Amino acid sequence: MLLPVPVEYAVAVNQYLDRAALSRGSRRVYQISLASWAWPLVGKPIPHGPDRRGAVPPVVPLVLLDAPGTGDRLAAEFAARTALADARTANRELSALRGAVGWWQEQGWVRSDPTAGLRHRHPDERAGPLSDEQVNALFLLPVSLREHALWRVLYDSGASAAEVLALDADQLDLSRHRVRVRPGDPPPGTGIEWREGTSQLLRWLLAGRTWGPAFVTDRRAPGRAAADRCRVTGRGRMSYRRAAEIFTALTGPLDRAGQGWTLHQLSASGRTRQAGAARR
């Protein structure tokens, strides 16, 4: 039975999900994934972080899927998503859209597949390190002390962002510019070292605090475990996702592609710098 062609993208999504053999939980995941593509279809960025919760997707005519340039807009958004989220999440969202578009093609609602030129990203696939010129531009950005200190540790040490964000204030040996190994505890970040100027940034950031996460959120986090919360301010340990979102957003104006850079690129730049210094 031929179904009438829906005018709106959201209606087409609901009709696709109505006929898919999905559990209630799976349908909810697919609904969120498919709704998120509404923003790039009209050339708008998907809200991230707290702004995404409760955001109402724009009304999108389904015919836009056949419009010239739609594939390019989706490709740009997919690249941005793989910079902010893990590859598995971005791949799952792409697969959800591909499945829906395929079904809509079978119904004769759309003629083309704007996802045809996109490929799934391997979980370990990353962009290359930043150049010296890019690093110099990065550290001229007017950012908060927290971001500046975090970025400096990543660049000086070449450690991963996950390792650095897992550090507690009492692990930082600021007189020796390295992570202090606590007896009987194999902490994340063992072997991480940085330069003297970065220790000064960390002193200003911690302001004498010797407990709790080294890098904390801007707001109180009452639901966090005690180990991931500053007992004085109530602020929680900064997550990798939030740190990555901030970094990519702030570096967008520096990136010729306009997509921003990744924390992995910054850490890789630090390892490249260290390797070059070792050869000299």
Residue 121: inside a domain = no
Give the chain's mean pLDDT: 85
The total of structural domains in the chain comes to 2
Alpha helices in 107-144 (DSSP H): 132-138
Whole-number Å distance between alpha carbons of 171 and 182: 7
Across the range 113-137, mean pLDDT stands at 79
40-49, 54-63, 98-107, 111-120, range with the lowest pLDDT? 40-49
Q: Is 210's pLDDT higher than 90?
A: no
Check whether residue 273 and residue 144 sit in a common domain.
yes
| Mean pLDDT for the stretch of residues 216-232 | 79
On whether residue 228 sits in a domain, the answer given is yes
185 falls within a domain: yes
Which residues neighbour 31 within 8 Å (Cβ) at sequence distance 6 or greater? 13, 17
For residues 49 and 150, membership in a common domain is answered with: no
Pairing between β-strand 178-179 and β-strand 216-220 as defined by DSSP bridges: unpaired
Is residue 245 a part of any domain in this protein?
yes
Tokens describing residue 238: 């900064």
Q: Specify the pLDDT at position 125.
A: 47
| 1 lies in some domain | no
DSSP state of 217: E
CATH number at residue 227: 1.10.443
From CA 207, how far away is CA 142, in angstroms rounded? Answer: 20
pTM here is 0.57
Full residue range of the structural domain in which residue 15 is found: 9-106
Q: What pLDDT, on a 0 to 100 scale, did the predictor assign at position 50?
A: 58
Residue 163 three-state SS: helix
- Span 53-78, average pLDDT: 85
- Both 142 and 83 in one domain: the answer is no
> What integer is the mean pLDDT of 221-231?
76
Pair 69, 168 in one domain: no
Give tens-digit pLDDT for 39-62. 888 888 777 655 666 778 899 999
Residue 223 and residue 248: Cα distance in Å, rounded?
A: 27
Same domain, 149 and 255: yes
Same domain, 78 and 183: no
Q: Which residue has the higher pLDDT, 119 or 138?
A: 138
Taking the C-alpha atoms of residue 213 and residue 224, their distance in angstroms, rounded to an integer, is 12
**Do 100 and 156 have their domain in common?**
no
Task: Mark whether 102 and 136 lie in a shared domain.
Answer: no
User: How confident is the model over 192-209, as pLDDT tens digits?
Assistant: 999 999 999 999 999 988
Tell whether 144 and 245 lie within a shared domain: yes
Q: Answer yes or no: is 66 within a domain.
A: yes
141 and 252 share a domain? yes
- My answer on whether 101 and 139 are in the same domain is no
CA distance 247 to 194: 20
